[in-house]
Structure 1
Amino acid sequence: MALTNSQHDAIMRTYDAIRTENRHIQNERYAQVTAACPEIAQIEDDIIGLSMQAAAEMLKNPDYKTAYRKKLSELADRKAACLAALGRPADYLDPVYTCPKCKDTGYIGQHKCACFTKKAIELVYHDSNLKNIITTENFDTFSYEWYDKKTPIPSIGLTPYNNMQNIVSICHRFVDEFDTTYDNLLLFGDTGVGKTFLTNCIAKELLDSSHSVIYLTAVELFQCFEQQDFNKPDTSDTAIDSSYILDCDLLIIDDLGTEFANSYTSSRLFYCINERILRRKSVVISTNLSLSDIRNMYSERIFSRLTSAYKLLKLAGADIRLLKKTGQKP
């Protein structure tokens, strides 16, 4: 769903609180350094006085701008020297911003800042189940003990254990290089081999590093599009405006293929995948479908996008849920 007026106001109030807190930090810094070095307060007053004088002088003499800049630079150098003597950087008394891009306003010009989008997703997208799951399903709790070390997978020539080591390494690299390298992942394989667990691992790492992440099952994804396209009432806790689906830092689509597939879901899937490729926004997809199943179930152009723009990671092994239930090990 789109933000209501009250939700938008709630987000803007958080920016008010952030700016208030940051002004408090700046004031504390000023009080601290001027108590230790009163000269800094005098320099600050001189800078203000010089600026007021310059405004009047430049109306009478435009050439005064050069002299003004020289005097201002000299004052700035004196201030930086005083701060350095106190072991503080030159910008220590500059305004404090949590988000330097928008200066804690939520907007850059007329456009929403990325930090606003993240706050909107956090407000609208309340998937408490995911938040609970990632406390137990993450890279720290991942275990290789459920993967066979002896019998190679014929199609790739690696044991499930070695194959999973490679895949986990790729997932770690995906997270580590997320801000510098554009990439997408398609995790496919039989039921219970760890696909959803790995998507949870990725989600936690990026959420912990302040990225905006939307995690939806394929069914939920298409429900979001249907509610917007056909003006259906919002009955789902996970319903979210499609603009956030397209703009969030990472979109995770879990269990692709479990939805009721038809021409509408196929067209919406292509739109979502293609649009995020154009915007260079990463996607992680998990599915029980084989590559041939994907090709048969969806359009050729979807298959082409997935195979050309995604790392294809085939997970293999025994059903871990079944192994845990029966107390067996591979």
Structure 2
Amino acid sequence: MLTEKAKVAEKGCPICHGTGWEYVQERTVRRCRCRGDVSSTAVERLLEAARIPPRYVECELKNYIPQGEVNSPELESQRMAVLMCRQFVKEYPNTDRGLLLMGPVGVGKTHLAVSVLKELIRTKMAHCLFYDFRDLLKEIQESYNPDSQRTESRILEPIYHVDVLVLDELGAAKPTAWVQDTMTQIINTRYNYKRLTIFTTNYLDTSINNEETLAERVGERLRSRLHEMCKTILIIGRDYRRFSRSLAP
């Protein structure tokens, strides 16, 4: 049951005019007073609609624990990653760049991406969506089946327009021409509509041990676009999941 304030928010507030945001000074906004009593059910619905995988539902910025020796580059990079994620949440929606979380397997990139998404939903009522990029490609391919109940356009519509999109594992799919075209279409469309995107990738800008770079996986043109769209957060460290298993009795 919506309160009177929530009903005002739905119909159109004279302060925020239905946007949910109130300007307090130049280039600074805060959640409008009319949204103060929106029920927790609305947040729950947004969280459910975000498609967060069960494995990550407990992820929070507060339970991301940086790992590494005191004053080590690994520890400092992970601490800086948390700070930049918190700053992103604080600045939203008054920001025009998303995030690109880069680093090896197991350093917590997806943990941080999901944590940011959840904070944006809870504190800013943002409409968010999570997709593993490989799963998204699979869904699109399945839509080509004549028996499919979903069309490609129906799948891509929320991908194009949702306020904040998390695309996990960018570059993980084999870079065929179709994959390249699909990546370019999604990323360029969100760029043109000024929608914020948070990417995670295991591929770096420089090759280590002859591994492919991100540019080699997605193409130089798309890598350049990501520079323009996102603040890059480089996270270094060992695979925390493997390390944790090695300590288990």
- TM-score under structure 1 length normalisation: 0.56
* Aligned residue identity for 2:51: D
- Unmatched 5+ residue regions in structure 1? 1-17, 27-94, 104-117, 152-158
Cross-structure match for 1:205: 119
Determine whether 1:323 maps to 2:243: yes
Cross-structure match for 1:285: 199
Contact 1:248 1:281 in 2 (8 A): yes
Residue 125 of structure 1: how far off its partner (Å) = 4.6
Task: Give, in whole Å, the separation in 1 of the partners of 2:90 and 2:50.
Answer: 26
The one of 177, 195, 214 aligned to 1:294: 214
* Aligned residue identity for 2:87: R
Task: Give, in whole Å, the separation in 1 of the partners of 2:246 and 2:103.
Answer: 21
Cross-structure match for 1:129: 53
Work out which of the two has the higher radius of gyration on C-alpha atoms and give 1 or 2: 1
- Report which of the two has the higher share of helix: 1
Task: Give, in whole Å, the separation in 1 of the partners of 2:204 and 2:161.
Answer: 28
The one of 225, 245, 248 aligned to 2:140: 225
Determine whether 1:183 maps to 2:97: yes
Task: Give, in whole Å, the separation in 1 of the partners of 2:120 and 2:194.
Answer: 16
Residue 252 of structure 1: how far off its partner (Å) = 0.3
Residue 148 of structure 1: how far off its partner (Å) = 2.9
Residue 299 of structure 1: how far off its partner (Å) = 2.4
Distance 1:149 1:182, change over 3 A: same
Distance 1:234 1:318, change over 3 A: farther
Residue 227 of structure 1: how far off its partner (Å) = 4.2
- Unmatched 5+ residue regions in structure 2? 15-41, 207-212
Determine whether 1:247 maps to 2:161: yes
Contact 2:47 2:121 in 1 (8 A): no
Determine whether 1:141 maps to 2:58: no
Distance 1:240 1:208, change over 3 A: farther
SS at match of 1:291: coil
Determine whether 1:97 maps to 2:21: no
Residue 322 of structure 1: how far off its partner (Å) = 1.6
Residue 300 of structure 1: how far off its partner (Å) = 2.3
Task: List per-residue Cα deviations over 1:144-203 (Å, max 9, x = no partner).
Answer: 2x223354xxxxxxx111122222111111111111112111111111111111112112
Distance 1:128 1:201, change over 3 A: closer
Task: Give, in whole Å, the separation in 2 of the partners of 1:287 and 1:126.
Answer: 20
Cross-structure match for 1:37: none
Distance 1:300 1:126, change over 3 A: closer
- Report which of the two has the higher share of strand: 2
Residue 128 of structure 1: how far off its partner (Å) = 6.1
Cross-structure match for 1:308: 228
Q: Which has the higher contact order (CA 8 A, sep 6+)?
A: 2
* Aligned residue identity for 1:137: C
Task: Give, in whole Å, the separation in 1 of the partners of 2:181 and 2:164.
Answer: 21
* Aligned residue identity for 1:289: Y
SS at match of 1:285: strand
Task: Give, in whole Å, the separation in 2 of the partners of 1:262 and 1:101.
Answer: 47
